[in-house]
Structure 1
Amino acid sequence: MESAISDHLTCPRTLTRRVPDGYQPPFPMWVGRADEEVQQVVMGYFGVQFRGDAQRPAALRAMRDMVAGFDLADGPLHYDLTHHVDNQNHENLMIVGYWKDIAAHDRWLQCPEVADWWASDERLSEGLGYFREIVAPRAEQFETLYAFQDALPGVGAVMGGISGEINEHGYWGSMRERFPISQTDWIQPSGELRVLSGDPAAGGRVVVQGHDNIALIRSGQDWAEAETAERNLYLDEILPTLQDGMDFLRDNGQSVGCYSNRFVRNIDLDGNFLDQSYNIGHWGSLDKLERWAESHPTHLRIFTTFFRVAASLSKLRLYHEVSVFDARDQRYEYINCHPQTGMLRDAQPPQ
């Protein structure tokens, strides 16, 4: 059994773990492995917001245009497409792209085809909303966890490898302890979420500045290859408790420190649903995410159900990734989105 923290990211620990050195997890889990060349990754969330069937064709065209832009030089190494309905009953198409080279991402974002499209006045008059939420954790600022070992989704797709069975899972606090930075840092937030330019209530273009150690969790489910028993397990037992928790965070997340929560369903380029989904949640701190996970009834039901079935999973694929970021490594930009979108709701106005 090995540590979730890669050898090249291991250092003398100054903060103690929650479990003794001889701890043995109750079932096997794995993490993504990247080599020493991967110093920082980029996770880009690119969205199209619309309301009603009349806008759907235009929204799908806009999404496909964005995807076409990924074929340009320095585009993401991996991406997926999703759909969700937010708490204002707006539909959102979202593309999530991953880079393992921040310089390549920056070149892509600044190339004329991408930069000019985003800056064009046409984006203000199309009747659609757009957003891009881009974060870039350093190698020591993110962790992963998979109940399977092949075809890793999300950031795992660009990491290049998979661990053996790891030790840091199956107990409260294990998420934090899979972060390399947690060996010496409590990962506390500093600063505040604030509007840099624009007015969320007025629409148009709005830019939000993040603060140090915002936490982002992506927690996924893939039942595409599951046979009848596991499919029923997910749809009849796991999904209802998961949906309750995600709906609570979508509608009431502000009360527990969750800036934004989206439970998304994967789609293809034509908008057809796939048998995959995941949750994307931005939190004010890792502490607040942990506190909700360890104490809120909706998540306790999710956790209990997973523990009961984890050892028997065969084709049902469950995973998550969690990241934190320095303020300078975050970009939140919105065009004509409603003021409850993403980070807009909790961003403080300019002083």
Structure 2
Amino acid sequence: MESAIDKHLMCPRTRTRRIDDSYTPPFPAWVGRADASVTQFVMGYFGVQSKGESQLSAACAALRQIMTSFTLDDGPHHHDLSHYVDAAGYDNMLAIAYWDDPAAFARWEANMQVASWWNAESRGSDGLGYFREILMPGVERFETLYAMPEGMEGVGVVMATRSDEIQEHGYWGAMRDRIALSQTDGMAPTGDLVAEERPSRVIVRGHENLVVIRSGQDWTETVGKERELYLGEMEPVLREGMNFLRDEGQPVGCYSNRYMQHIDASGQLQEKSFSVSHWRSLAHLERWSESHPTHIEIFGTFMRMVQTLQADLKWKGYHEVSVMRAEDQRYEYINCHAGTGLMCGA
């Protein structure tokens, strides 16, 4: 068993972990490992928003345009496609892309084909909404967790390798303990979200130590009792918790929450889902996780499923959590409704 924090990111602690060295977690888990030469990742959320069947064809064409741009020089190493219907009834299709080199991302973003399409006047007048949410966390500012012995999702695909079994999981506070910066920094938030309105566009600037979590699950390989447990017990309480954060998350520190399902290149739903939420701080996310009834129910149901199935578990779960510097996040919304993404928080 090893620490979730990679060796080259370890330093003398001035802040203690919530566990001592003798702690043994209740089940195995792993984290992603990147080459020591990688110091920063880029996570780009590229969205197309539409409402009603009459706009779906144009929205799909716009998503295909985004996917085509990923094949240009310096495009992402990995991307996922997803869909969800938000609280206002709008369809949102997203391409979530990952780079392990901010300079390559900058070159891709500046490519004439990419820039001219995004900046075209027609983006704000074709009846669709568009958004870009760009996160660029340093490796000391994010953590991953995989509750499956093989495979990775999200940023882990770009990280390429994984740890042996790690110690820091299965207890409240483990998320913070897996972040390298937590060895010396409490990561408290400062500042506020700031929105700048332009014709048909809204720019939102994030504040210091804003937190973004992507948390996913894959039930593709489940059968029999496990499938019944997930779809009949686990998924309903998960959806209830995600809807709470979407509709009532502001008072507990959650700016925005999307509960999405993976789609393939032809738009067909896959048996994989994930949520992406933005939080005022890691402390706010921790308080909801540790004490709010919606998450207590999610965690308790998950533990019952794990204990019931034990070694036969085919369900896969993971998350990635980033604690962002203000300068490493950008949010831009074109012709989107006011409840989209960070606009509702700002």
Fold-level match, TM-score > 0.5?
yes
Displaced runs of 4 or more, over 3 A: none
How far the C-alpha of 1:225 sits from its partner, in A, is 1.6
C-alpha distance in structure 2 between counterparts of 1:18 and 1:308, whole Å: 24
In structure 1, what is the Cα distance between the partners aligned to 2:205 and 2:174?
A: 29
Letter in 2 for 1:81: L
The match for 1:273 is 269
- Confirm whether residue 91 of structure 1 aligns to residue 87 of structure 2: no
Question: Do 2:306 and 2:313's aligned partners in 1 also have CA atoms closer than 8 Å?
Answer: no
Q: Show the counterpart of 2:49.
A: 49
How many Å apart are 1:124 and its aligned residue?
A: 1.3
On the 8 A contact 1:43/1:136 being kept in 2, the answer is yes
Aligned to 2:321: 322
Match of 2:254 among 222, 233, 258: 258
Q: What's the offset of the Cα at 1:96? A: 0.3
Aligned-residue offset at 1:17: 1.2
Query: Residue 288 of structure 1 aligns with which residue?
Result: 284
Q: CA deviation at 1:308?
A: 2.2
Shift of 1:224: 1.1
Letter matched to residue 24 of structure 1: T
Is the 8 Å Cα contact of residues 40 and 101 (structure 2) preserved in structure 1?
Answer: yes
Residues in 2 aligned to 1:9 and 1:310: alpha-carbon distance in whole angstroms? 31
Post-superposition shift, 1:83?
0.5
Find the residue that maps to 1:153 and give its secondary structure.
coil
Q: Distance in 1 between matches of 2:265 and 2:121?
A: 26
What is the match of residue 299 of structure 2?
303
1:14 aligns with 2:10: no
Residues in 2 aligned to 1:241 and 1:255: alpha-carbon distance in whole angstroms: 20
Report if aligned partners of 1:84, 1:265 keep a CA contact under 8 Å in 2.
yes
- 1:131-166 Cα offsets, whole Å, 9 max, x none, are 000001000000011111322110100102110110
TM-score (norm 2): 0.97
Q: Is the 8 A contact 1:14 1:183 kept in 2?
A: yes
Q: 1:32 touches 1:163 (CA, 8 Å); kept in 2?
A: yes
What residue is the counterpart of 1:70 in the other structure?
Answer: 70
Give the conservation status (yes or no) of the 8 Å contact 1:191–1:212.
yes
Measured after TM superposition, the shift of residue 310 of structure 1 is 2.7
Per the TM alignment, residue 233 of structure 1 is displaced from its structure 2 partner at its CA by: 1.6
Asked if the contact 2:259–2:275 (Cα under 8 Å) also holds between the matched residues in 1, the reply is: yes
Share of identical aligned residues, percent? 55
Please show how residues 121-160 of structure 1 align to structure 2 within 5 Å.
121-160=121-160
Q: Which residue of 1 aligns with 2:330?
A: 331
Structure 1 gap ranges (5+): none
- Cα distance in structure 1, aligned partners of 2:11 and 2:66: 41
SS in 2 for 1:221: strand
How far does residue 212 in structure 1 lie from its aligned partner after superposition? 0.9
TM-score (norm 1): 0.96
Secondary structure of residue in 1 paired with 2:140: helix
What is the letter of the counterpart of residue 333 of structure 1? E
Residue 235 of structure 2 corresponds to residue 235 of structure 1: no
What are the Cα deviations for residues 284-324 of structure 1, in whole angstroms up to 9, with x where unaligned?
Answer: 11111111111111100111122223352532111111111
Give, in angstroms, the shift of residue 37 of structure 1: 1.0
For residue 306 of structure 1, give the secondary structure of its aligned residue in structure 2.
helix
Whole-angstrom CA distance in 1 between matches of 2:147 and 2:14 = 29
DSSP 3-state at the match of 1:233: helix
The total of aligned residue pairs comes to 343
Partner of 1:205: 201
Out of 210, 218, 224, the residue aligned to residue 220 of structure 2 is: 224
The equivalent residue for 2:116 is 116
One-letter amino acid of the counterpart of residue 298, structure 2: I
What letter is aligned with 1:224? T
Offset, 1:167? 0.3
For 1:193 and 1:184, how far apart are their aligned partners in 2? 25
* Residues 242-301 of structure 1: per-residue CA shift (max 9 Å, x gap): 000000001111111111100000111222111000010000111111111111111001
The residue matched to 1:117 in structure 2 has which SS?
helix
SS of the residue aligned with 1:276? strand
Q: Which residue of 2 aligns with 1:192?
A: 192
Look up the equivalent residue of 2:164 and give its one-letter code: G
Shift of residue 39, structure 1, vs aligned partner: 0.3
**Cα distance in 1 for residues equivalent to 2:305 and 2:88:** 35
CA distance in structure 2 between the partners assigned to 1:240 and 1:197 by the alignment: 38
User: How far 1:38 sits from its partner (Å)?
Assistant: 1.1
Moved more, 300-309 or 103-112: 300-309
Deviates more, 1:263-272 or 1:176-185: 263-272
- Give the SS at the match of 1:79: strand
- Contact in 2 for aligned 1:29/1:145 (Cα 8 Å): yes
